[in-house]
A and B are shown apart, each in its own frame.
Chain A
Amino acid sequence: MSWGERLEKLDRRWIFLAVGFLVLIPLLFPFKLPIAVSGPARRYFEAVDKIPDGSTVVVSGDFDPASAPELMPMLTSSVRHLFRKNCKIIALQLWPGGPPLVDGVLHSLGDEMGKKYGVDYVNLGYKSGNEVVMLAFGTSFSRTFPNDYSGTPVKQLPLMQKNDNFETTKLLVNISAGYPGTKEWVQQAQGRFHITMVSGSTAVQAPELYPYLQSGQVLGLLGGMAGAAEYEKSTGVLGPATKGMDAQSSAHVFIMFLILLGNAIYFARRNAQGRA
């Protein structure tokens, strides 16, 4: 059996094990590879940074724990960036698994940065209905979400008394893992209500969103953990995304090596069969 045939018949569990070690070792012993901020991430930072201090911003956290490693660092950095600018945050979620994650980030950063619930930030929680919720929300926040996540009527919250639709908000930040997410917000809210929008998405979804970036429908885009790390670098507060990038890079190099090796074996065998 040639080395090529042996590699073709290699038990794939060896590859799983190798990827596991290549992820684990850089997490234990980081190489601290440099991180360059790409155009879409820079534009995301600038779009958030450019809104006037104290503005009201809608943050829609449309994800669940399955995408948390990629999206939680983006959400944390975005909320921190907005709180630093004394922006008021109205948060909502269109995925049922999202509310506890978003609520945790808002309360922990709110406490850390001296923000008051109901005055500086509100979490409206989850609502099913996807695009219909987006449409209804754009018409009236309070009619779509009569109560907040903890069941308090929103009419009792000072922040919600001043804001009931997109007319008084300066930015829509969407952190999205798929459907419903950025695509639907662009279709239902951005064009209809003329709201400025930025998006942080999972890497799987990011290629579908680049056309919106090119057209200006979305002003900035963070794609996956790499996008989150670039945004962390821009805000100056390094977090789990930055610390995961060495592991990400080493696993990518290994996968690239496997793709090249697989192709080399394929062409070598094809040539050998051609000669025979």
Chain B
Amino acid sequence: MGFDVSPDPGVWIAALLTLFIFSFLYKDNPLYKFAEHLFVGVSAGYIVVQQFWQVLFPNLIEPMFFQPGTADAWKFWIGAVLCVLLFTRFSAKASWLSRFAIAVIIGVYAGAKTTGFAQAEVVAQVQATMLNLWDPAHIGASINNIVLVVGVVCTLVFFFFSTEHKGPVGGAAKLGIWYLMVSFGAAYGFTVMSRISLLIGRFQFLLDQWLGIVRF
């Protein structure tokens, strides 16, 4: 195990910025602040360039001005006008004009979300809960199905507030809480796994690409 330090200045910049960010774990300091501000600035610049060259230019400017004979060119002008109207928010007097563009955005999103949600979350998920609870040929699957259906029903009972949670309803609601607790525990476990993975990723970068101690 030896060192094979990278001569690439890009790798050195990335490694030093990683160490600057890690320094926050000891305490807040100017190096951390420098890295944080640099990240915000670079991200903002990157997104502006990305939005212009990947979205605005090929989908609006190019067909309007650089592609003669574009079919239904008037549609692009509607988009362009709505786009310009959004910028009227910078003027107190004209900001009301931006509402037209916002109304279109909200309308399109609401329509897309509602139909997609109804199909994928309501219909498909309710269908997936209609399970055969007992099949002697597949006892393991049957137990899984019972656990799932009982869990769905009890959790829904917990969120049903029109009846006092007493007697059988209270029992079902309590079981629903247990199901929720298990799901919160699983979510927490997955979150820990995710955060540790990010640390591993940074260490792999430092050990491999920067110092060349281990190759991953």
Give the B-binding residues of A (Cβ under 8 A). 13, 16, 19-20, 23-24, 27-28, 66-70, 96-97, 99, 125-129, 131-132, 135, 145-147, 149, 151, 184, 186-188, 190-192, 202-204, 206-207, 211, 214-217, 223-226, 239-240, 243-244, 247-248, 251-252, 255
Q: How far is the CB of B52 from chain A (nearest CB, A)?
A: 11
Q: How large is the interface on B (under 10, 10 to 19, 20 to 34, 35 or more residues)?
A: 35 or more
Q: How far is the CB of B176 from chain A (nearest CB, A)?
A: 16
For A239, give the chain B residue with the smallest CB separation. B216
B92 interface residue per 8 A CB criterion: no
For B204, give the chain A residue with the smallest CB separation. A240
The distance in angstroms between the C-alpha atoms of A255 and B53, with both chains bound, is 45
Chain B 162-216 interface residues, beta-carbon cutoff 8 Å to A: 183, 186-187, 190-194, 196-204, 207, 213-214, 216
The distance in angstroms between the C-alpha atoms of A247 and B197, with both chains bound, is 9
The distance in angstroms between the C-alpha atoms of A131 and B54, with both chains bound, is 17
Q: 5 tightest CB-CB pairs across the interface, nearest first?
A: A69-B201, A215-B128, A187-B116, A203-B194, A225-B197
Q: Is the CB of A207 within 8 A of B190?
A: yes
Q: Is the CB of A207 within 8 A of B187?
A: yes
B81 interface residue per 8 A CB criterion: no
Q: Give the chain A neighbours of B201 by CB distance below 8 A.
A: 68-70, 240, 244
For B152, give the chain A residue with the smallest CB separation. A211
Q: Is the CB of B113 within 8 A of A24?
A: no
Q: Is the CB of B120 within 8 A of A217?
A: yes
Contact of A215 among B124, B187, B207 (CB under 8 A): B124
The distance in angstroms between the C-alpha atoms of A208 and B191, with both chains bound, is 12
Q: How far is the CB of A219 from chain B (nearest CB, A)?
A: 14
B78 interface residue per 8 A CB criterion: no
The distance in angstroms between the C-alpha atoms of A145 and B57, with both chains bound, is 11
Q: Give the chain A neighbours of B127 by CB distance below 8 A.
A: 215
Q: How far is the CB of A28 from chain B (nearest CB, A)?
A: 6
Q: Is the CB of A69 within 8 A of B198?
A: yes
Contact of A188 among B26, B116, B186 (CB under 8 A): B116
Q: Give the chain A neighbours of B108 by CB distance below 8 A.
A: 132
B74 interface residue per 8 A CB criterion: no
The distance in angstroms between the C-alpha atoms of A135 and B127, with both chains bound, is 24
B117 interface residue per 8 A CB criterion: yes
A-B pair count, CB < 8 Å, reads 144
Q: Give the chain B neighbours of A16 by CB distance below 8 A.
A: 25
CB pairs A–B below 8 angstroms (15 shown):
A13-B25, A16-B25, A23-B203, A27-B203, A27-B207, A69-B202, A70-B197, A96-B51, A126-B54, A127-B59, A128-B51, A204-B187, A243-B204, A244-B201, A252-B192
The distance in angstroms between the C-alpha atoms of A190 and B207, with both chains bound, is 41
B47 interface residue per 8 A CB criterion: yes
Q: Give the chain A neighbours of B113 by CB distance below 8 A.
A: 131, 187
Decide: A224 near B203, CB < 8 A? Known: A128-B51, A216-B128: no
Q: Give the chain B neighbours of A149 by CB distance below 8 A.
A: 54
Q: Give the chain B neighbours of A146 by CB distance below 8 A.
A: 58-59, 62-63
Q: How far is the CB of A185 from chain B (nearest CB, A)?
A: 9
Q: Is the CB of A243 within 8 A of B202?
A: no
The distance in angstroms between the C-alpha atoms of A251 and B63, with both chains bound, is 53
Q: Is the CB of B112 within 8 A of A13?
A: no
The distance in angstroms between the C-alpha atoms of A203 and B201, with both chains bound, is 14
Q: Is the CB of B125 within 8 A of A203?
A: no
For B186, give the chain A residue with the smallest CB separation. A207
Q: Is the CB of A203 within 8 A of B191?
A: yes
The distance in angstroms between the C-alpha atoms of A58 and B185, with both chains bound, is 34
The distance in angstroms between the C-alpha atoms of A217 and B119, with both chains bound, is 11
Decide: A215 near B58, CB < 8 A? Known: A187-B119, A203-B190: no
B121 interface residue per 8 A CB criterion: yes
Q: Is the CB of B203 within 8 A of A70?
A: no
Q: How far is the CB of B54 from chain A (nearest CB, A)?
A: 5
| Extra inter-chain contacts (8) besides given A23-B200, A240-B216, A255-B192, CB under 8 Å | A13-B25, A96-B50, A127-B54, A146-B59, A215-B125, A243-B204, A244-B204, A247-B203
Q: Is the CB of B193 within 8 A of A248?
A: yes
B148 interface residue per 8 A CB criterion: yes
The distance in angstroms between the C-alpha atoms of A123 and B117, with both chains bound, is 29
